[in-house]
Amino acid sequence: MIKQSIIATAVLGALLVAGCNSTSGAPKKFAWQQEDNPDTINCTRSGSTQPVEISAKNLNLTTNDNKGCFNGDSRFCDLRIYQIMVESFMHGKKGAQGVGVSYGPSSHQGNLKGIIDNLDYIKSTGANAIWLTPIFTTTKMENQQTSDDFLDGTGYFTSDYFSIDPRFGTKADLKKLVNAAHSKGMYVFLDGVFGHAKVNVKTESPNGNKLVLSRMCRDITGHDDKMTLKAGTCFKVDESMDFLKEVATYWIREAKIDGWRLDQAYQLTPEQWKQIREAVEEESAKKSNTYVLGSKRTLPLGYTLAEIWTDNPKEIEKNVFVNDGVSSAFNFPLRSQLTKVLATREDPFTSGNCRVPAQSLNDEILSKMRGYNKASILNNFITNHDTVRFGDLLQRAKLEEDGKNGQSYYDAHLAAISFLSAMSGPLTIYYGDETGDDLKGFSQKPKNCIEKHQCDDHVSRTDGHVNKLSADEKKLKNSVAAVLKLRDSHPALSHGKRVHLFSDHSIYADFKQYKNDKVIYVMNTGTGERQVTIDDNVWAKLGLSSGCTMKSLFGGSVKKNVITAPALSGTFVNVTCK
């Protein structure tokens, strides 16, 4: 994906690095890449142990209801996606050789065989779906620059939408991967770059539809922005619509994929996305595409997930949700705030990027989510292939020491993922976050980040780490799986109406309800254990009968009406009322 200029990354010249830059503007160095940075970072956690009493008098009662997955019944709400950067994840023996060269610190030998070989591991994380970054053929041009070789390795500038890059594998490999994932009960989504490609892209489809190229690209404001990368091109989308719809439906027919993650989605208008979404849903509904998911015959899911990289919910709404554009979009505003609360945004030197109270998650983000339209489904996450890993952000904030990952390091990961699990809607876990992966030494102010393949926009693309896990890594993975699987038995987590109960500097508490399922979620972002008492008069305010009882599902403990929330934790509590 290509990130807007609001968070531009240092790149070679005017290079458009997949996932990070606008199509114009000078490269920018982040604060921690400057030599004159301050040596101290003032990111700290609350050490409070002060008890909290939640009563009818201090209930917050901010509510998210009847929008998206908040009291919604869409199957998309149940998705727990495991994102894989194909070129860096795992190399499977006797598979394709891998791209060999790309951005990021991995060995760049990932292939489809490596994913097939590790499907049982992926399933064990609690995931029920997989998203693969682009795997379509990218062809080298004559006298191509080295920077273009790096870009080719990402897959985000394809030369052929209808073939699999032989460096990743074959069409047969993709079919085998999808079939095997389906047999284990996991959906599979591909990465669709429908707004730009490499200049040598094949412009005629198997059915004879034409892709019309253009040097002008729609930007997040809706204006035209000239493509500055010589090797890249955008399209005249209206004239190319039949071609793009054919791409979107071809891989559903051929491989039975379940939908698309849509890169740099602002390059198309919501009205154009609607045409593609409807084509995806129509093809997914055809009986000829029936397959077996686990042990049940079903049809492809038909999910479309847009990437609009912005902290402003209104920009997400206007670019993809208005006029019924797409099914879902990544919740970048929530990711931004959650990292501020538990770690830091990528720049820890800017005021307000760390040491942010837990209360801000409700006040600054979730209250604003009520402004989305009724059908807007937000997909929640903390890391992707274009951000810094959550573990490295903990170290950048100096909340953890690089190379010495203690218990609080793993606890913070679990707390972050527990928040995602407690929030209504689909979620995405980036490969490695389930074990607390980081890049050793990265937090030490890297200089010449491009040459070292350690710039913020690609540093998370590390080699996959699924074998020989440490005891701490295994414990975290198992806990992550337990938290994610709570959604199977407690639909209030993925589908529920949200009523905010209380929050302060380190405590965040929500009440979730979907039909008869009721759950209280409490996150403690501080270093001190805190007790949260729920007074009996709260239940009536929530529209429940008196005599409700609580039982711990995961995390802290419950004794009568008192929830004990350990330091850096997420606690799930089942509520039963007479």
DSSP 3-41: --GGG----STT---TTT--SSS-----GGGSTT--S--
Q: Give the model confidence (pLDDT) of 522-549 as tens digits.
A: 999 999 999 999 999 999 999 998 889 9
CATH class of the domain at 52-62+498-577? mainly beta
- Give the pLDDT of residue 126: 98
Q: Mean pLDDT throughout 396-419?
A: 95
Cα 566 from Cα 571, distance rounded (Å):
8
Higher pLDDT: 13 or 540? It is: 540
CB-based contacts of 262, cutoff 8 Å, min separation 6: 192, 194, 273, 304, 305, 306, 307, 320, 326
Which range among 180-194, 200-214, 342-356, 395-409 shows the weakest confidence by mean pLDDT? 342-356
Q: What is the pLDDT of residues 253-287, one digit of tens each?
A: 999 999 999 999 999 999 999 999 999 999 999 99
pLDDT band at 23 (very low <50, low <70, confident <90, very high): very low
Q: How confident is the model over 499-524, as pLDDT tens digits?
A: 999 999 999 999 999 999 999 999 99
Give the torsion sign (CA, 367, 415, 424, 264): positive
Going by pLDDT thresholds of 50, 70 and 90, the confidence category of residue 55 is very high
pLDDT of residue 39: 54
pLDDT at 444: 61
- The pLDDT value recorded for residue 31 is 38
Domain 78-195+240-439+469-495, what architecture? Alpha-Beta Barrel (3.20)
The helix or strand, by DSSP H or E, that contains position 571, with its residue range, turns out to be: strand 569-576
Of 1 and 569, the one with more pLDDT? 569
User: Which pLDDT score is estimated for 448?
Assistant: 83
Looking at residue 538, its pLDDT comes to 97
Region 185-213 average pLDDT: 98
pLDDT class of 445 with cuts at 50, 70, 90: low
Percentage of the chain surpassing pLDDT 90?
A: 84
Long-range contacts of 551-558 (CB under 8 A, 24+ apart): 551/576, 553/486, 553/490, 553/519, 554/418, 554/482, 554/483, 554/486, 555/418, 555/522, 556/522, 556/524
pTM value is 0.94
Name the residue ranges covered by the structural domains of the chain: 52-62+498-577, 78-195+240-439+469-495
> Mean per-residue pLDDT for 123-140?
98
- N-term to C-term CA, the chain: 50
Query: What confidence score (pLDDT) does residue 35 get?
Result: 40
Averaged pLDDT, 334-344 = 96
pLDDT given for residue 202 in this prediction = 98
Q: pLDDT at residue 22 above 70?
A: no
Provide the pairing of β-strand 530-534 with 80-84: unpaired
How far is the C-alpha of 302 from the C-alpha of 299, rounded, in Å? 9
pLDDT digits (tens, 9 = 90+) for 74-127: 999 999 999 999 999 999 999 999 999 999 999 999 999 999 999 999 999 999
